[in-house]
Amino acid sequence: MFIKVPKGTQDILPEDISKWYYVEDIIKEILNKYGYKEIRTPYFEYTDLFVRGIGESTDIVTKEMFTFPDRKGRSLTLRPEGTAPVVRTYLENSMSRISKVIKLFYLGPMFRCEKPQSGRFRQFNQFGIEIIGTQAPAADAEVILTALDVYKKLGLKNLEILINSVGCKKCRVNYILKLKKYLKDKNDTLCSECKERYIKNPLRVLDCKKDNCKEITEEAPVIINNLCKECELHFEEVKSYLNGQKIIFHEDPRLVRGLDYYTKTAFEIISGELGAQNAIAGGGRYDDLVEELGGKPTPAVGFAAGIERMIIAMDQQNIEWPLKEELVIFVATVNEKTQERAFRLLQKIRNTGLSADMDYSGGSLKSQMRIANKIAARYTVIVGEEELSKNMIILRNMQTKEQKEIKITNLINELTSCIDSM
Ligand code: HAM
């Protein structure tokens, strides 16, 4: 029996890779337009970064991390998300010295040991942005607008924006007391996970997907009514920036997100096509994380989006993939004797920047023509013994099936003019 791909992971096969190139190109184009610079951090970090960054009692840290020791026994973890690593590198490379506000983006695989299901993987790809160094509400609005711009360019429709404010250290203390008071006599009826959340992280009870817990918390006090003046004003301004751009959003007072670092704005973008795993992007403000990871108090805001979920939603919406047509030249040989010369010509064609290929299986001219058709070659250069003796080759237009003999020395010029006239 052969070994299969690990549970929750998937191969991206050659026939699908052009979708990924297309999506990644659009992401980079839009993020460049907004002034974000790409950063690439390692796929694994010291475990402590995520424990301190994401929060000890979160599902990600308690249940979903791929953690392993290195040879010296230091605990490493495959990155489950990109924000904590970006803040680590921001601090490690003293980026605040480069500029007061830094705008970064990343794109790549993340790892979470979750129960796999449609749209939920153990290795998945995110693109994300982080603006570090400003508490301006305009920055919160900008991250949402950036995500929407990417989706718009890709043609994705039917998206809903949910926003909330989860307050700051100051207002959350009072709110959590209120919430605990409300939940106190209902504690026994909560699910076992929520009983634990009640002790370690009561805010997360609001995020429970179980019907019973949802019912219990229906009448619970909401943080939005318990914000301090500063958080309230900040939230009003974020909404006003979004309204100014005619963005339709819904306030969701129960949106608390699964990572502990959020302060003030929290948001999710959901897609009608995705079923249970409907969050296509999520993010918000995290004004305490830089300090939590050892830096000076520095406000920040960002989001990340799942690329697999974007591609699934695009396919469900039957969005056409504008796949790049490459001009391929195929080089065919009539027998082994002409192979060496054909190979030299093949490299010469490639050196001009054209995409070219030949078949090494030693098949007949007929079978080589089949391959040429399969790879959608526009022209085939047929290298025959008789023609070679006259320093000629045959150039075949694969669409019109017309063939002509041309001088080898004219081949590149001929191919270039054929392409120019297309
Ligand atoms: P998150 O909500 O955990 O936030 O993930 C962001 C997005 O990644 C989700 O909305 C979803 O599209 C995708 N995603 C998450 N888990 C999976 C999975 N198992 N399979 C497929 N896709 C998944 C964060 O990661 C934060 N770091 C976002 C952020 C950046 N906040 C501030 N800056």
Measure 246 CA to ligand 1 centroid, in angstroms: 26
pLDDT of residue 324: 66
| Burial class of 282 by CB neighbour count within 10 A (0 to 12, 13 to 18, 19+) | buried
Measure 290 CA to ligand 1 centroid, in angstroms: 19
Buried/exposed code over 115-129 (b: 16+ C-beta within 10 A; e: otherwise) = eeeebbbbbbbbbbb
Q: What is the 3-state secondary structure (H, E, C) of 271-301?
A: ECCCCCCCEEEEEEECCCHHHHCCCCCCCEE
Residues near ligand 1 (Cβ within 6 A): 81-83, 112, 114, 120-121, 124, 126, 128, 130, 258-259, 279-284, 286, 302-306, 308-309
Quote the CA–CA distance of 267 and 284 in Å, as a whole number: 6
pLDDT of residue 50: 98
Q: Which of 125, 128, 92 lies closest to 111, judged by CA?
A: 125
Quote the CA–CA distance of 168 and 250 in Å, as a whole number: 21
**Sequence letter at residue 220:** A
pLDDT of residue 81: 98
**Sequence letter at residue 185:** D
Whether pTM exceeds 0.75: yes
Residue with tokens 């309230």: 232
Buried/exposed code over 180-211 (b: 16+ C-beta within 10 A; e: otherwise) = eebbeebeeebbeebeebbeebbbbbbbbeee
Residue 271, both tokens: 């897609």
Quote the CA–CA distance of 249 and 148 in Å, as a whole number: 12
Contact 151, 314 (CB under 8 A): no
Measure 127 CA to ligand 1 centroid, in angstroms: 9
Quote the CA–CA distance of 49 and 168 in Å, as a whole number: 22
Question: What DSSP assignment string belongs to 355-418?
Answer: EEEE--S---HHHHHHHHHHTTEEEEEEE-HHHHHTTEEEEEETTT--EEEEEGGGHHHHHHHH
Instruction: State the closest ligand 1 atom to the C-alpha of 286, by its place in the atom list counted from 1.
Output: 32
Q: Which of 198, 155, 175 lies closest to 315, judged by CA?
A: 155
Quote the CA–CA distance of 361 and 369 in Å, as a whole number: 13
Task: Name residues whose C-beta falls within 8 Å of residue 148's C-beta, 6 or more positions apart in sequence.
Answer: 159, 161, 247, 269
Name the residue at shortest CA distance from atom 4 of ligand 1. 282
Distance set, CA 134 to CA 103, 108, 285, 351, 366 (Å): 10, 25, 10, 49, 66
Quote the CA–CA distance of 319 and 8 in Å, as a whole number: 26
Ligand 1 mutation target, pool 23, 58, 103, 124, most atoms within 8 A of CB: 124
Quote the CA–CA distance of 17 and 113 in Å, as a whole number: 25
Distance set, CA 222 to CA 175, 240, 398 (Å): 8, 21, 67
**Sequence letter at residue 105:** F
Ligand 1 mutation target, pool 23, 278, 309, most atoms within 8 A of CB: 309
* pLDDT tens digits in sequence order for the chain, 422 residues long: 999 999 999 999 988 999 999 999 999 999 999 999 999 999 999 999 999 999 998 999 999 999 999 999 999 999 999 999 999 999 999 999 999 999 999 999 999 999 999 999 999 999 999 999 999 999 999 999 999 999 999 999 999 999 999 999 999 999 999 999 999 888 888 899 898 888 888 888 988 888 899 898 988 999 999 999 999 999 999 999 999 999 999 999 999 998 999 999 999 999 987 777 789 999 999 999 999 999 999 999 999 999 999 999 999 999 999 866 677 899 999 988 899 999 999 999 999 988 999 999 989 999 999 999 998 899 999 999 999 999 999 999 999 999 999 999 999 998 888 776 66
The conformation of residue 117, written as its DSSP 8-state character, comes to B
Name the residue at shortest CA distance from atom 9 of ligand 1. 281
Measure 86 CA to ligand 1 centroid, in angstroms: 15
Measure 125 CA to ligand 1 centroid, in angstroms: 9
Q: Which of 113, 167, 123 lies closest to 286, judged by CA?
A: 167
Helix (H) or strand (E) holding 259: none
Question: Long-range contacts: 318-323, Cβ < 8 Å, 24+?
Answer: 319/154, 319/155, 319/156, 321/18, 321/19, 321/22, 322/22, 323/18, 323/22
Quote the CA–CA distance of 302 and 341 in Å, as a whole number: 56
Strands of the sheet containing 403-407, edge to edge, are 355-358, 328-333, 377-383, 392-397, 403-407
Residue with tokens 């608390």: 256
179 C-beta neighbours (distance < 10 Å), count: 22
Contact 116, 8 (CB under 8 A): yes
